[in-house]
Structure 1
Amino acid sequence: MTTPLFTDKDLEQLEAKGITPEEAVRQIEAIRHGFPFPNIIAPASLERGIMRVEEEDKAAYIMEWEKYLSSQSCHVVKFVPASGAASRMFKELYNFLDADYNEPTTDAEKLFFANLTHFAFYDSLNEACLRNVWRTVPKLIASKEYKAVVENLLLSKGLNYGALPKGLLLFHNYGKENRTPTEEHLA
């Protein structure tokens, strides 16, 4: 006895999105078996695939976009690429760890600590600090142990955010729910 691939609820959702069950199966099979590597012969440029919009045409394109936004069929989602390691994203914090001073000095360092509680990863960072140095982030900051906070964010003893792909960092904050970019793409 085989289990059906799609539940009734799945079929309803597919229909609402205009996807046939056959197309969904085709997509699943493509994911299962992988995709061939593209044969990239050159970067995209104005000579190779990119269209330049002439000044006199811009207004028409903007009107078309605004018309779409006001239509019933409008469905816009934001796509946030999440490729590569996050080490570049935390360059300023790595510099802080290597610096011969212990308190935030640069504008980037001050901005990071001023907004720390707003980051989606804050609760996880607080747990890592408790686990590793037995103090919360606010207590570490109150005792001017800023580098301990950054170490627990970036290094393997903590969250290891400096080595993880950006797609795995808690990045999107929705109040009580936080998501990685990967989870955001799926949502």
Structure 2
Amino acid sequence: MTKTKKSEFRPNDFVVYPAHGVGKIVMIEEQEIAGFPLELFVISFEKDKMTLRVPTHKATEVGMRGLSSQDVVDDAMRTLKGKAKVKRAMWSRRAQEYEQKINSGDLIAIAEVVRDLHRTDDQREQSYSERQLYEAALDRLTREVAAVSGSEESVAQKQVGDVLVSRAAA
């Protein structure tokens, strides 16, 4: 296997791929594609039962990054506690912006989507598309919180849920 410029990612590292969330690098393999050798990260997204191969030289270019630091997770939790900021734009426009934030891979932006779309029991029902975006953002957030803290996803879900409930009570 040829060595690339020392990659910041190694097998068994958890990484965040913007469009898919938290995955684990299972190995680095070399494949011949169109007659050229190509070194690839093989990333497993276990919960989604999906494997992704990313050329090692393109990883940072496509936005792949290591897990957030604990400070970023703390900032995301503070973001959740904030007041929802809902623009008066049409839903299709807002939905597009939420989708972009979710797929940015930026934990703070994802926390903003969770905060803005979270509904308490006494608030109006969410539309199907709102619910889909909310659940996608919540899933990305809790998976990364769990991976950063080294805890089970259920623990991270409770942690995020407690923050959202405390905000509603305030």
If the length of structure 1 is used for normalisation, what is the TM-score? 0.22
Which of the pair is proportionally richer in strand? Answer: 2
Q: Greater RCO between the two (CA within 8 Å, min separation 6)?
A: 2
Bigger Rg over Cα: 1
Normalising by structure 2, what TM-score? Answer: 0.23
